[in-house]
């Protein structure tokens, strides 16, 4: 029986993936092998020794202490692209709210409760509506920073709206580049993008390199009156600099974000939402299902898909064999030392796979017969081995 502890509200569709006979899943589980969560911050949680893997039902993993977990051999997964459409649609809402007097117009209409006569109300609205006039998105330029799962969808949507699209992504993967419409004009640096775009939308992960990406200095390049959209993370934007730019004559025209902060409230030029970019039934289901499937595949077969700290590994189970997996520091000689223990004990390895990523390596070995506890203990003692698992015959 595997145990999976959940944090946050996880879609039932994802929870239903776990077969009841083999999994105990819930928020109140002791000694879990797996963790399933959304934005809950794990930095202050003491994870029990039993934990082997963590699945983030979502994209951002800045709520997970990755470096520490990697050293402990804990495999961390996320669900790339599973909530991208939800964010894309909210960015569309953000663009429209930033270009038209929708919110101020609605607010004004709601304030007219003292008027009881429809004709009088109609006359007043026709006289006042010029205060809520806007500008069309068609023909204006959108700058997309980060052209991954969300950024590429946003770029495509903006092109369909008749916008010009410029993009900046110095770390673009080949796969992401293939997804990108050819009409997206590539910018060499952030400053060029900021000086060109009427709307700038951020879709980068919160990393050390992206913390404060939008700051006092970069905002000097912003096109006067531009709208900045941040549906990525709070840490990417220095809010104090944003407020300063909004207050300046030639600075930002509006800040539209999913990450409110006290200094952003009560401003007409800020539209802040309560981190609802991925809060749709569809996105929550997609993420939960993908996360649950990845957890189960790892717990049952040791295969790794969509990890953010371990290499992707997929080896079909050799029939009738027992599976051993181990992770180790990525230094030479470890696999050889492990194999010599098998040789010394007449354990026949039928199939194996070894992959590395950064400072860790991960190995799967299918062996003809289940090695005894003494052999497994010997494997655990090999220098630089982080952890060893023995998986029952499939
Ligand atoms: N508001 C929400 O609810 C919500 C929902 C989903 C994701 N997000 C945030 O959006 C982020 C992006 O999500 P995604 O699914 O598109 O991820 P992704 O990994 O598919 O794409 C991120 C892209 O950013 C690029 N990048 C990295 N550093 C960069 C830099 N310095 N400048 C420009 N580009 C850079 C990467 O090369 C990659 O192409 C997530 O990490 C998460 O923080 C927020
Ligand atoms: O990174 C993400 O996927 C989003 O920020 C969604 O977060 P949530 O799962 O807490 O809504």
Residue whose C-alpha is closest to residue 167's, from 131, 149, 191, 193: 193
Q: What is the CA radius of gyration of the chain?
A: 26
Are 239 and 367 found together in one domain?
no
In the block, tokens 């083999």 appear at 22
- Give me the mean pLDDT over the 17-25 stretch: 97
- Give me the mean pLDDT over the 6-16 stretch: 97
Q: What is the spatial distance between Cα 194 and Cα 147, in angstroms, rounded to a whole number?
A: 15
- Give me the mean pLDDT over the 325-348 stretch: 97
Are 77 and 118 found together in one domain?
no
197 touches 142 (CB < 8 A): yes
- Summarised one tens digit per residue, pLDDT across range 42-52 is 999 999 999 99
- Summarised one tens digit per residue, pLDDT across range 153-202 is 999 999 999 999 999 999 999 999 999 999 999 999 999 999 999 999 99
Q: Is 60 close to ligand 1, i.e. is its CB under 6 Å away?
A: yes
Q: Which ligand is the nearest neighbour of the Cα of 90?
A: 1
Are 143 and 265 found together in one domain?
yes
- Give me the mean pLDDT over the 358-380 stretch: 97
CA of residue 92 relative to chain centroid, distance: 19
User: How many structural domains does the chain have?
Assistant: 4
Domain range for 35 is 1-83+279-310
Are 250 and 366 found together in one domain?
no
β-sheet with 360-367: strand ranges across: 349-357, 360-367, 322-329, 385-391
- Give me the mean pLDDT over the 311-325 stretch: 96
248 touches 222 (CB < 8 A): no
Q: What is the whole-number distance in angstroms between the Cα of residue 278 and the centre of ligand 2?
A: 6
DSSP string, 305-370: -SBSSS--B--PPPTT-EEEEEEEES-TTHHHHHHHHHHHTTPPEEEEEEEEETTEEEEEEEESSP
Q: Whose CA is nearest to atom 10 of ligand 1?
A: 232
Confidence at residue 393, expressed as pLDDT on a 0 to 100 scale: 77
- Give me the mean pLDDT over the 31-46 stretch: 97
Confidence at residue 330, expressed as pLDDT on a 0 to 100 scale: 98
Q: What is the whole-number distance in angstroms between the Cα of residue 284 and the centre of ligand 2?
A: 9
Residues listed for the chain: 394
Confidence at residue 392, expressed as pLDDT on a 0 to 100 scale: 80
Q: What is the spatial distance between Cα 142 and Cα 184, in angstroms, rounded to a whole number?
A: 10
Residue whose C-alpha is closest to residue 392's, from 323, 335, 292, 346: 323
What's the CA angle centered on 316, arms 54 and 16, to 5 degrees?
45
- Give me the mean pLDDT over the 327-347 stretch: 97
Residue 138: CB atoms within 10 A of its CB come to 9
Confidence at residue 28, expressed as pLDDT on a 0 to 100 scale: 97
Residue 394 has pLDDT above 90, yes or no: no
Residue whose C-alpha is closest to residue 344's, from 315, 307, 371: 371
What's the CA angle centered on 56, arms 51 and 57, to 5 degrees?
135
- Summarised one tens digit per residue, pLDDT across range 71-98 is 999 999 999 999 999 999 999 999 999 9
Confidence at residue 162, expressed as pLDDT on a 0 to 100 scale: 98
User: Confidence band (pLDDT; 50, 70, 90) for 220?
Assistant: very high
Confidence at residue 182, expressed as pLDDT on a 0 to 100 scale: 96
Are 165 and 225 found together in one domain?
yes
Are 163 and 58 found together in one domain?
no
Are 91 and 233 found together in one domain?
yes
Domain boundary among 243, 272, 301: 272
365 touches 351 (CB < 8 A): yes
Q: What is the whole-number distance in angstroms between the Cα of residue 280 and the centre of ligand 2?
A: 11
What percentage of the chain exceeds 70 in pLDDT?
100
Residue 333 has pLDDT above 90, yes or no: yes
Are 89 and 235 found together in one domain?
yes
Are 127 and 224 found together in one domain?
no
Look at 387 and 393; give whichever has higher pLDDT.
387
Confidence at residue 2, expressed as pLDDT on a 0 to 100 scale: 97
**DSSP 8-state symbol, 266:** T
Are 43 and 108 found together in one domain?
no
Are 93 and 174 found together in one domain?
yes
Q: In this structure, what CATH number is given to the domain that contains residue 201?
A: 3.40.50.720
pTM of the full predicted structure?
0.97
Domain boundary among 310, 331, 357: 310
393 touches 385 (CB < 8 A): no
Q: What is the spatial distance between Cα 161 and Cα 95, in angstroms, rounded to a whole number?
A: 11
Q: Is 279 close to ligand 1, i.e. is its CB under 6 Å away?
A: no
Beta pairing partners, 184: none
Are 150 and 258 found together in one domain?
yes
Residue 102: CB atoms within 10 A of its CB come to 15
Confidence at residue 194, expressed as pLDDT on a 0 to 100 scale: 98
Residue whose C-alpha is closest to residue 240's, from 264, 257, 256, 222: 264
Q: What is the whole-number distance in angstroms between the Cα of residue 229 and the centre of ligand 1?
A: 13
Q: How many helices (H) and strands (E) does the chain have?
A: 12, 16
Question: Exposed e or buried b for every residue in 167-187, given b needs 16+ CB within 10 A?
Answer: bbbeebeeebeebbeeebeeb
Q: Is 91 close to ligand 1, i.e. is its CB under 6 Å away?
A: no
């Amino acid at each position: 029986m595997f145990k999976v502890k959940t944090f946050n509200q996880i879609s039932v569709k994802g929870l239903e993936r776990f077969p009841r006979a083999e999994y105990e899943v819930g928020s109140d589980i002791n000694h879990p092998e797996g963790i399933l969560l959304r934005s809950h911050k794990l930095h202050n949680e003491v994870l029990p020794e039993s934990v082997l893997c963590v699945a983030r039902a979502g994209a951002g993993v800045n709520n997970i202490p990755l470096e520490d977990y990697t050293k402990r051999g804990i495999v961390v997964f996320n669900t790339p692209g599973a909530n991208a459409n939800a964010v894309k649609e909210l960015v569309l809402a953000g663009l429209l709210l930033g270009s038209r007097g929708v919110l101020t117009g609605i607010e004004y209409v709601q304030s007219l409760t003292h008027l009881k006569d429809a004709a009088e109300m109609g006359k007043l609205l026709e006289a006042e509506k010029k205060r809520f006039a806007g500008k069309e998105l068609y023909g204006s330029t959108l700058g997309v920073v980060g052209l991954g799962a969300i950024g590429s969808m946003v770029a495509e949507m903006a092109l369909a709206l008749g916008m010009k699209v410029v993009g900046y992504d110095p770390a673009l993967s080949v796969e992401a580049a293939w997804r990108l419409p050819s009409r997206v004009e590539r910018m060499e640096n952030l400053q060029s993008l900021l000086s060109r775009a009427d709307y700038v939308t951020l879709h980068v992960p919160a990393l050390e390199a992206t913390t404060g990406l939008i700051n006092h200095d970069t905002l000097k390049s912003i096109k006067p009156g531009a709208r900045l959209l941040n549906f990525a993370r709070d840490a990417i934007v220095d809010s104090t600099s944003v407020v300063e730019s909004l207050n300046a004559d030639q600075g930002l025209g509006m800040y539209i974000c999913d990450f409110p902060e006290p200094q952003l409230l009560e401003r007409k030029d800020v539209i802040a939402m309560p981190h609802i970019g991925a809060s749709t039934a569809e996105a929550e289901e997609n993420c939960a299902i993908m996360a649950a499937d990845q957890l189960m595949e790892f717990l049952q077969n040791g295969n790794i898909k969509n990890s953010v700290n371990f290499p992707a590994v997929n080896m079909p189970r050799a029939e009738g064999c027992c599976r051993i997996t181990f992770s180790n520091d990525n230094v030479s000689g470890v696999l050889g030392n492990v194999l010599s223990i098998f040789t010394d004990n007449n354990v026949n390895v039928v199939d194996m796979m070894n992959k590395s990523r950064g400072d860790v390596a991960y190995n799967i070995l299918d062996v003809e017969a289940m090695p005894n506890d003494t052999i497994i203990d010997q494997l655990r003692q090999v220098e630089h081995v982080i952890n060893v698992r023995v998986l029952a015959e499939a």
